[in-house]
């Protein structure tokens, strides 16, 4: 969990990531569930806006971190496909970087529809694991490492299906946009280690960071839709 938390914290601290989070909070209403909340940053930021913010994560250790960091939030250990919420009890549903980790992400979207009030808004955010862009002197190895890491995920390419999954589950006014996170410094190295592991490839990326020559770009897909009656 500590490695994952390090990666998440490094990502969340990026100005681009902060701007993206702010964008995803728009029009979620006054009662929002953040599914796969991790360390709780989005819940804390929403609570600071006066929103009743509910964080849900399957990892009890992450929920412990979230409760400690963001005491104004409400947190639960629960599965994304079985939320501890009544039908129609929230005005906004947010799932950030979680659907790719689920064996059946469609069930999570069906659960989003269940807990959302009429005309509630769902926002799905995440990366397509095949679309990482990493500058390297060995592009073939880099491509193989990215694809191998993608293949370890239950649904690495779900982000490109966000729109269709929302439409399939009764959401209307569905829109999709892409915002790209760009890294050029050593803060990205934990993420790269997660992709390539220790060894010469990661050493080369660390050298690039030291020489101010590192380049990593990750397109983030944002899909939103309204729960139809």
User: Do the beta carbons of residue 155 and residue 201 sit within 8 Å?
Assistant: no
Q: How far apart are CA 157 and CA 172, in angstroms?
A: 22
35, 100, 120, 177, 209 from 141: Cα distances, Å? 34, 23, 44, 30, 19
Residue 158 belongs to a domain? yes
Residue 147 belongs to a domain? no
- pLDDT in single tens digits along all 229 residues of the chain: 677 888 888 888 889 999 999 999 999 999 999 999 999 999 999 999 999 999 999 999 999 999 999 999 999 999 999 999 999 999 999 999 999 999 999 999 999 999 999 999 999 999 999 999 999 999 999 999 999 999 999 999 999 999 999 999 999 999 999 999 999 999 999 999 999 999 999 999 999 999 999 999 999 999 999 998 7
Please calculate the CA angle 63-39-208 and round it to the nearest 5 degrees: 145
Give the contacts of 22 (CB within 8 A, at least 6 positions apart). Answer: none
pLDDT score of 1: 61
Site of tokens 């010469």: 200
Q: Which tokens belong to 22?
A: 């702010």
Q: Which tokens belong to 141?
A: 């190895």
Residue 217 belongs to a domain? no
Residue 203 belongs to a domain? no
Collapsed DSSP state (helix, strand, coil) of residue 149 = helix
Collapsed DSSP state (helix, strand, coil) of residue 67 = helix
Give the contacts of 15 (CB within 8 A, at least 6 positions apart). Answer: none
Q: How far apart are CA 69 and CA 49, in angstroms?
A: 16
Q: How far apart are CA 204 and CA 191, in angstroms?
A: 14
> For residue 100, what are the domain limits?
3-126+154-180+222-227
Residue 115 belongs to a domain? yes
pLDDT score of 3: 79
Residue 29 belongs to a domain? yes
The number of distinct structural domains making up the chain is 1
Here the CATH number for the domain that contains residue 122 is 3.40.50.150
Residue 110 parent element (H or E): helix 105-115
């Amino acid at each position: 969990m500590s490695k994952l938390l390090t990666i998440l914290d490094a990502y969340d601290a990026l100005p681009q990531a902060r701007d993206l989070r702010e964008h995803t909070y728009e029009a979620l209403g006054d009662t929002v569930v953040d599914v796969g909340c991790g360390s709780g940053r989005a819940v804390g930021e929403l609570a600071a806006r006066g929103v009743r913010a509910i964080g849900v994560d399957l990892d009890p250790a992450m929920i412990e971190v979230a409760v400690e960091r963001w005491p104004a939030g409400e947190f639960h250990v629960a599965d994304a496909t079985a939320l501890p919420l009544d039908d129609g009890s929230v005005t906004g549903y947010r799932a950030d970087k979680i659907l790719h980790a689920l064996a059946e992400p469609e069930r999570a979207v069906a659960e989003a529809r269940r807990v959302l009030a009429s005309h509630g808004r769902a926002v799905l955010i995440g990366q397509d694991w095949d679309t990482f862009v990493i500058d390297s002197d060995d592009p073939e190895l880099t491509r193989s490492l990215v694809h191998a890491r993608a293949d370890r995920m239950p649904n690495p390419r779900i982000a490109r299906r966000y729109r269709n999954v929302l439409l399939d589950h009764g959401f209307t006014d569905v829109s999709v946009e892409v915002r790209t996170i760009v890294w050029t410094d050593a803060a990205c190295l934990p993420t790269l280690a997660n992709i390539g592991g220790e060894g010469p490839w990661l050493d080369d990326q660390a050298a690039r960071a030291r020489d101010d020559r590192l380049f990593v770009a990750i397109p983030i897909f944002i899909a939103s839709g309204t729960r139809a009656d």
